[in-house]
Amino acid sequence: MSNQEFDVVVIGSGPGGYIGAIRMAQLGLKTAVIEKDATFGGTCLNVGCIPSKALLESSEYYSAAKHDLQQHGVEVSEVKLNLKTMLSRKDKIVSDLTGGIKYLFDKNKITSFQGTGKLKSANKIEVHKNDGSTEVVSAKNIVLATGSIPNTLPGIKYDGKKIITSTEALNLDKVPKKMIVIGAGAIGLEMGSVWARLGTEVTIIEYSKQIGGPTDSGIAKRFLQILKKQGLNFVLEAKVSSAVVEEPMVKISYESLKDGKSTELHADVLLVAAGRIPFSDGLGLENLGIEKNQRGFVVVDSHYRTNHPHIYAIGDLTPGPMLAHKAEEEGVAVAEIIAGQYGHVNYETVPSVIYTWPELASVGATEEQLKEKSIEFNSGSFPFTANGRAKAMGMTDGIVKILADKTTDRILGVHILGPRASDLISEAVVAMEFGGSSEDLARSFHAHPTLSEVLREAALNVDKRARQM
């Protein structure tokens, strides 16, 4: 039994848990974190955002060396893939970053417990350690930040080899000849892109009419065209109904939602990227009657409080977009609330990014959402083809679209399909956070020549006065 009592114990060390814990410690709260995995960082650092970005970066270099360097006058005679090196580079990035969290915990005097945390009472947590022993930790406040796991689909059973989740897709020891991906969301498009660049024939089957989730439909159409041009195959408006391993292949059946027709496909690997579900197994929520909704998300109020006044929940475990930066902001907000401050998250300005090439980044409303709500708006677009820097880089695929309120000109949504969209979107987030208008963006300096000038031209085009085209 631990004789320590903490002001806050956080269960889970993903972006929500570890960023929240650091803020708690900064605010003078005696803080502990319980983590079941061997390393800190949760899905994002270990098997999500970070390793996938490492592979996206490496596979982009490989693809550029094979296809794009010639146009720059750089001739490479024999481009060879060393998958082992690519994967170990990714592993090294992950271990550096997860080790970095340990350093941050020590620096901020945060106590960590390795094991699975289970709620015993409103202020006691039992930690089941990996060596079989248990320890009880006391806390005045508890923050649940246990994240999410891949969704399962009826009729499809993961075997970790032929039918895999994104976790295994980060570690394939050879390049498969054929891969089928279920879902054209962030994971499907990112991991599909990685393996397609490395030489796999990738087919992505998607239930909806468009790719990239609830993206602006005009942008989604353009995105689809560009990815198809890169060699990715898509089957839209189709539902995968079953998948069985028939060594050495996996057989997939899908039904067209348009005509009900069934089709069978074979592949070396099936990646299921059909969303994620909140993870609270073994957490003991039932011991305290903590309320979950029908989809398994823990129900919280606007202060992240569960139906227990001193037990909070944040991140993927709670409703809202399953994004690392959403969890981080909630971690900070909950820390400030526990410390008696006014923690707050502005959900109107959560950006979302798909890190393909080009990248797709959005913040705020789509055109369709504004029409649905009968909000009148002006729209301004501008393509990367007309931007000097994009031309110099040889990366002109894409477009920026800005939607602004018809009366006030306040920015309501920004959608960027283009090179480095993930970085460019921050300008839009800040502008929206300050209640900025398209005129504000249009009148702000943008260094020349930069990709950010496309945003400015799109802002000028809200008033139909772009200069470069």
Shortest distance, CB of residue 32 to ligand NAI, whole angstroms? 28
Q: Which of 218, 275, 284, 449 binds ligand NAI (CB under 6 A)?
A: 275
Is 186 near ligand NAI (CB under 6 A)?
yes
Residues in region 198-257 near ligand NAI by CB under 6 A? 205-208, 213, 239-240
Q: What is the dihedral of CA 269, 272, 273, 277, to 10 degrees?
A: -150
Nearer to ligand NAI, 133 or 294 (CB): 294
List of long-range contacts for 202-205, beta carbons under 8 Å, 24+ apart: 202/178, 202/231, 202/232, 202/233, 203/178, 203/179, 203/233, 203/234, 203/235, 203/265, 203/267, 204/180, 204/232, 204/233, 204/234, 204/235, 205/180, 205/181, 205/234, 205/235, 205/238, 205/240, 205/252, 205/254
Is 355 near ligand NAI (CB under 6 A)?
yes
Shortest distance, CB of residue 315 to ligand NAI, whole angstroms? 11
Contacts of 433 (CB under 8 A, 6+ apart): 346, 349
Q: Please state, in angstroms and rounded to a whole number, the distance separating the CA atoms of residues 140 and 119.
A: 13
Shortest distance, CB of residue 273 to ligand NAI, whole angstroms? 4
Nearer to ligand NAI, 50 or 142 (CB): 50
Q: Which of 273, 313, 424, 454 binds ligand NAI (CB under 6 A)?
A: 273
- First-to-last alpha carbon distance for the chain, in angstroms, is 70
Distance of CA 448 to the CA centre of its chain: 31
Q: Which of 9, 11, 139, 184 binds ligand NAI (CB under 6 A)?
A: 184
Q: Please state, in angstroms and rounded to a whole number, the distance separating the CA atoms of residues 210 and 212.
A: 7
Nearer to ligand NAI, 308 or 326 (CB): 326
Nearer to ligand NAI, 158 or 207 (CB): 207
Q: Tokens 């796999």 appear where? A: 200
278-308 residues labelled b (16+ CB within 10 A) or e (exposed)? bbbeebbbeebebebeeeebbebeeebbbeb
Q: Which of 47, 153, 172, 459 binds ligand NAI (CB under 6 A)?
A: 153
Active site residue: 67, 72, 266, 448, which one? 448
Shortest distance, CB of residue 281 to ligand NAI, whole angstroms? 18
Shortest distance, CB of residue 11 to ligand NAI, whole angstroms? 20
Burial class for 57, CB neighbours closer than 10 Å (0-12, 13-18, 19+): middle
Nearer to ligand NAI, 108 or 208 (CB): 208
448 is known as an active-site residue = yes
Stretch that binds ligand NAI, among 66-74, 186-194, 262-270, 446-454 (CB under 6 A): 186-194
Q: Which of 87, 169, 182, 411 binds ligand NAI (CB under 6 A)?
A: 182
Q: Please state, in angstroms and rounded to a whole number, the distance separating the CA atoms of residues 304 and 194.
A: 36
Shortest distance, CB of residue 69 to ligand NAI, whole angstroms? 27
Shortest distance, CB of residue 363 to ligand NAI, whole angstroms? 13
Nearer to ligand NAI, 380 or 413 (CB): 413
Q: Please state, in angstroms and rounded to a whole number, the distance separating the CA atoms of residues 190 and 172.
A: 15
Nearer to ligand NAI, 205 or 250 (CB): 205
State the Rg of the chain over Cα: 24
Catalytic residues, by residue number, are 448
Residue ranges binding ligand NAI (CB under 6 A): 153, 182-188, 190, 205-208, 213, 239-240, 273-276, 322-323, 353-355
